[in-house]
Structure 1
Amino acid sequence: MLPSTVERVPQHTSEAVNAQIRRETEERVAILAAAGREAIDQRLNELNREWDIERTLEANAATLSLAGLTLGATINRKWFLFPGIISAFLLQHAVQGWCPPLPVFRRLGIRTASEIDYERYALKALRGDFDHLKNGSEQLASEQLLQTMRR
């Protein structure tokens, strides 16, 4: 059975690396909770620009494939095998969630989109972006009462 899109990278990453990524994320959120709204806003902007593991792997595969094509066209035709191998690894990653550069990138701290979103939504919650949802039913009841009183 194939792993889900959300689970496939963490399943193929050592638990120690997954734990380190989680710990670093939680530490950043805790520091920013004390730093205030301006620091949270700045970090949210940084998160919008952060490359996730998928984008990193795609850029890596494209770069290596182009290098192989260039070397094949200019140095030796045997280099044309290199883009084929890279494409096979990229397909393996798409299906299984693993490819040779994955452990290296994960150890470097490259996160999945879900891991980035976890930090993003924790910071938004700290900033108060979701406060209106907590009191949604109370606000609705108040609005209905005001409308009833106006009639």
Structure 2
Amino acid sequence: MFGQSTGRDVFYQNNERILRIVRLFKHAENCMGYEAKRTKGSEIDLIRKLPPTARRVAERTCDETNADIREKTVNTLNIYKDSTADVISERIESLNEEWDVERVLEAHAASIILIGSVLGMKKRRRWPYLTGAAGLFLLMHALEGWCPPLPVIRQMGIRTAEEIFNEKTVLKMLRGDFVQETDKTEEMLAMAEKE
């Protein structure tokens, strides 16, 4: 019987394969935005889940970068905690002019598309590939909330519109626009972040 598989060996091999497949699906669900759906019979399809619009960038950004951005926001809020209403209003005005991730990404992509188009008309035929890549990145970002330049943009501290809005909301709480139950800026930010 040496070299032949017994029924028991085949059973364990099949179970091991099934476990590997289940782990793969779980990894795909957790990290890559896929959802495992059972279709007819025993077939399992991975269905791509598009992230919610408001949170798609933050969900596709690494936890460490999100934590750094949040910590900087809390530190900034602590600076303004005991400030006058006029100083807080100035900060809110500056936040109204702060560029968010979408604006930075769109400006860079538009610049690349423009440069690639001009150079494509004047110089070489390879330049349109650059415009195609920029278009692809914009499409990926619109659907997934992620594209190759995004991690660099986020590590530079560029925030989403929602993160900027949350800071403005807490500043308005500090200014007295809303009634709040706490005087701790981190708790106020947590209240503003709730959906």
After TM superposition, the score normalised by the length of structure 1 is 0.84
CA distance in 2, matches of 1:28, 1:39: 13
Q: Which fold has the larger relative contact order, with Cα–Cα distance below 8 Å and residues 6 or more apart in sequence?
A: 1
The alpha-carbon deviation at position 72 of structure 1 amounts to: 0.5
Unaligned runs of 5+ in 2: 1-48, 182-195
Moved over 4 A (4+): none
> Aligned residue for 1:103?
151
What SS does structure 1 have at the residue aligned with 2:81? helix
Higher radius of gyration, 1 or 2: 2
Aligned to 1:119: 167
Is 1:11 matched up with 2:59? yes
Deviations for 1:56-100, whole angstroms, at most 9, x for unmatched residues? 111111001001001111111210111111101110110001111
Give 1:37 shift.
1.6
Distance 1:70 1:100 in 2: 23
| Structure 1 alignment gaps of length 5 or more | 135-151
118-127 or 27-36, which deviates more = 27-36
Residue 99 of structure 2 aligns to a residue whose secondary structure is coil
More strand by share: 2
Aligned residue in 2 for 1:45: 93
Hey, which of these two has a bigger chunk of helix by percent? 1
Q: 1:24 aligns with which of 72, 85, 107?
A: 72
2:127 partner letter: W
Aligned residues: 133
Match of 1:35 among 70, 83, 86: 83
Q: What TM-score results when the alignment is normalised by the length of structure 2?
A: 0.66
How well do the aligned residues superpose, as a CA RMSD in angstroms? 1.4
- What is the aligned partner in structure 1 of residue 24 from structure 2? none
Fraction of identical pairs, as percent: 47
